[in-house]
Every structure is written in structure tokens, then in C-alpha cells.
Structure 1
């Protein structure tokens, strides 16, 4: 005799609340997409709407007025994000491993040293001079190396996760003759996949959304990342809007729709990346943050 699950009003209420919350989270993204294909006149007259009276692709045409530069910016951003995230993750994990080893002398002092970098930030002038002396100007390394010096918060997340692992793993590996490098990469790193995936997402977001390094260190247009290109585009549109009436020959610039089009273009890769890392995200963040 097959048994049926009893209907529980409490469970149904939880599912309904989750469904409503999911819809509430999707609505802003849906609104952004619709506004990006809405005619500028309709936005000016009626504001943002899920059901605009007139659709138009002028926003995307404005963004892709120089399509070759946009696609090259996409390629630069993808290369910088992938290479930078991988290298930053390796550096961060290798810094976290000795911090989690109780046999390392002065590890608490080193932890304090790294913690100070969270509170006190280096000034802009010393930062620029350091990059200039290292030759990190007008080359692709200028978009990777300045952010490669790991974030101390991410390092503490990985360290705390490693400290939650049984210490007997390290001791057993020592007895079997393994050195610290082998223990770190063959034992600890595979067990730290949740927190490593979480930290890699943080680094990927930072690299993908970065435009400041391009402003400060890059003059070659062929090395502009996507975010900086779109930042320039928005600035140019705002400047044209400030011109006297009639300077644009009666043409209404698609300022709002172009702005939303840039949002859609920039969030795409991150939206596709997050589902692959989502199953690790909460576990890595919670376990890595609760142990002191």
C-alpha cells in the first residue's frame, strides 16, 4: 500500500514564502531587462515599467556603437578575471595554510599583521608610485597584479576553514613523510573546495567589476576592460545630455535604456558563474567565518 505525504499547512506556507521571495528577487532583474529594451520617450513619460508602451533597441545600439571595442573589452575582462582569480586564490590559500598550522611560530603575530591591513589602507599616491616602479602601467599585468595581493578577509575565511579540519590529517601525513607543500595541495586543498569556491567568487566579482585600475594605470585603448569602456560610455551620454536644448537636433538620447543595457551586459557572466558555485557558497562562508 503506497503511503502519501500528509499535507501540512506550515510546509505549504514556507514554500509560498520562498516562492514570493524568489519572485521579489527576480523582479529587479526583469525590470532592468525590460527597461533596457524600452524606448527613451516611454521611460521619460511613464518612468520604469514592466509593461512599457513602446519597445526599442536604441539602448543596445548606443552601447554597441563601437562593437569591436566592446568585444575586445569583454575578452580583456574575461582574461583578467580568470587569470587574476586563479592566481589570487592560490596566493591566498598558500598564506592561509601556515596560519592554520599550530606548529608555525609567530602565526598569531602574522595574523595580527594581516588584520591591520583590513583596518588601515595604503594611500593612493604610494599605491600609484609602487605600481609605477614595478612597471605595472599600460600592460595587462596592471589589471591583475595590483589586486593579486590577497584580501586579508578572504585569507581568514580559508584559514578558519582549514582549522576546522582534523589536525590528525596533518600529523598522519608528516608520519608518512609528506612535506607541507604536498600536504597543502594534495590533502587540504581538495577538502577546502567549499571555501575556495566562495573566495574565488569574491575575487572574480572584484576583477570583473574593476575599472579603477584601468583609469589609473592604462592609457592604451586596446587594454581597456569592459567595465571601464561602459563607464566611459555612460559618462559621454551624461555629458551630451547636459548640452543646450537643440544641440542634438531633436534626437532623444537613450540615456536610461543604455544604462540598463550596460547592466545586462556586465552581469551576464557572473549570473552564469554563480549557479556552479552556489552549492559551495553557503557552506564555505559559514564554516569559514564561525571559527576564530
Structure 2
């Protein structure tokens, strides 16, 4: 009875925590479909759209900056994740091979970067000195390898039996062939985790864009979103409305922008979920 009571109490607490976590997302979603006047007059919990309206989404999807932000972000995410996977897998393969000269020393220096960095000013001067500023590369090259992700993939490669590599070498396979045709296919769970981590990182990134991007046509979506939410700049999407309606529409407009910016990441997660737990558990247990 005590064990059954524990499971019931545990299930109740976890359900309550899940609802507390999910409700803000539901609130934003419902608010984005609400009529601005009804929404501003409402107080308390929101359990349904108030006066169903698609006006906020029409304004968002007709805004030039939102469309450009989407295109720029898709370009950065696609190119960035491809470079991230390439560089991380090459580094992880090199650091996971036995007999590599100074392997432990190199690994120690890489881990050192997780705790100490050169600081923002040297980082900015380096990117400017390489003439990467005001280009997509300023958002991709400086974040080409994440130390934690490198360690995670290296741990996955260390778990692959040496006999597989030795057999491939006997058949004349090169290191690149072993990496791309053996190691990566055998490490799909961790590759899925890399895609999710790097993809979400690029999708949500705005700080580097704020530092290095001056051309508004190159703004990623999150920088456009920051202008709308933090700087409260919704004027470009409210052209043609009077001042009173503009103040009303700006409220639901912000929620619609959040939904549009978040939906692609939420849609991607179910496809990677079956790999996610297994990939995250790599290196957690020692046999």
C-alpha cells in the first residue's frame, strides 16, 4: 500500500509540474489567436482564445523583416549544423583514437576552454580582424565546435570496439572512410543529439548577431524577435492602423511572433526524440 501510494503521489506531482510547465506555452498560443480588445480586458487564466482572430498572424507573415529573419536563420542553421557536425566528428574521432600523440594533453587544453575564455573584447577583435563581421560566417565559424558536444561524441566513439576499426583498415579503409561510413552510422543517437543541440543553439542565437551584424537584411529571426519584444518595436507591422488599434494589436502580435519563432523547433523534436535519451546517456554508465 505504501508503494502504491508513493506512485500515486509521484504521478500527481509530476502531472502538476508538467501542467505548470506547459501552461505558459499554451497561454502564448491561445493569446496569439485572441481578439486584442478582448484579450486586454481579460484577467486570470486563459483556457481558450478570446474572440478568435488571425489578424496577428496575418501581420506577422506579411512583415518583410520576419520573412527575411526566417530565411537568414534557416541559412545559418543549415550551414552551421553541417559545419558543427563535420568539425565535431573530426575532432572526436582524432581524440578517441589510441596512439595519438599528446592526445590527453590536447583534450585537457580543450576542456580548459569550458571554464576559461579570452573574454568578449578579444573575441570581438578576432572576428573583426578576420573580416567575418556583417556576414553569416560571424554567426557560424566562432561556434563551429562546442566543447561539451565534442566530449559527448568522443565518448560515443570510444565505445565502438577497436576490432571494427582494425577490420576496416585491413580492407584498406582510410580514416575518413572509417569515420563517415562506420563510426557515424553506429553513433546515430549521439548525432541526433548533436543536431538538436547545435540546431536549437543556432536558432535561438541573437547575441553574436547583435555584435557583428549591421545590415538589417542579414538579421536572424531571433534578433528581429528581440526588437519586437524587448525594444517594443512593432510599428513596422502595424502600418495602416490608428494609434488606438495599434496599441491593442501590439499585445497579441507579440504572442504571434513568439509562436511563429518557436514552432519549427517544437516540430523538430518529435523526430529526434527516439534518439535523444540514448544519446544523452552515452558515458553515463561505466561497465
Pairwise same-fold verdict (TM > 0.5): yes
Residue pair 1:81, 1:204 contacting (<8 A) in 2 also: yes
Q: Which residue is equivalent to 2:282?
A: 287
Specify the SS of the correspondent of 1:122.
coil
| 1:38 equivalenced with 2:45 (yes/no) | no
Question: Are positions 1:263 and 2:282 aligned together?
Answer: no
| Residue of structure 2 equivalent to 1:87 | 83
Change over 3 Å in CA distance of 1:178–1:52 after alignment to 2: closer
Alignment CA distance shift 1:48-1:137 (3 Å): farther
Q: Tell me how far apart the structure 2 counterparts of residues 23 and 158 of structure 1 sit (CA, whole Å).
A: 30
Instruction: State the partner residue of 1:173.
Output: 168
Is residue 160–residue 291 contact of structure 1 (8 Å, CA) maintained in 2?
A: no
Q: Deviations over 1:160-211 (max 9, x none)?
A: 1111111111222233332322211221111111101111110000101111
Q: Distance in 2 between matches of 1:251 and 1:196?
A: 46
CA contact (8 A) 2:40 2:248 kept: no
CA deviations over 1:232-291 (Å, ceiling 9, x no partner): 122342799xxxxxx945853445423321221111111221122111111111124445
Q: Report whether the alignment pairs 1:50 with 2:47.
A: yes
Q: C-alpha separation between the residues in 1 aligned to 2:245 and 2:251?
A: 17
Q: Secondary structure at the match of 1:287?
A: coil
Contact 2:213–2:219 (CA under 8 A) maintained in structure 1? yes
Is 1:60 the counterpart of 2:43? The answer is no
Q: Distance in 2 between matches of 1:256 and 1:57?
A: 13
Q: Deviation of residue 36 (structure 1)?
A: 1.2
Q: Match for residue 237 of structure 1?
A: 232
User: Which residue of structure 2 aligns with residue 129 of structure 1?
Assistant: 125
Which residues in structure 2 correspond to 1:110-129 (within 5 Å)?
110-129=106-125
Aligned residues: 274
Equivalent pair of 1:85/1:200 in contact (CA under 8 Å): yes
Cα contact 2:92–2:154 (8 A) shared by 1: yes
Does the 8 Å contact 2:33/2:49 carry over to 1? no
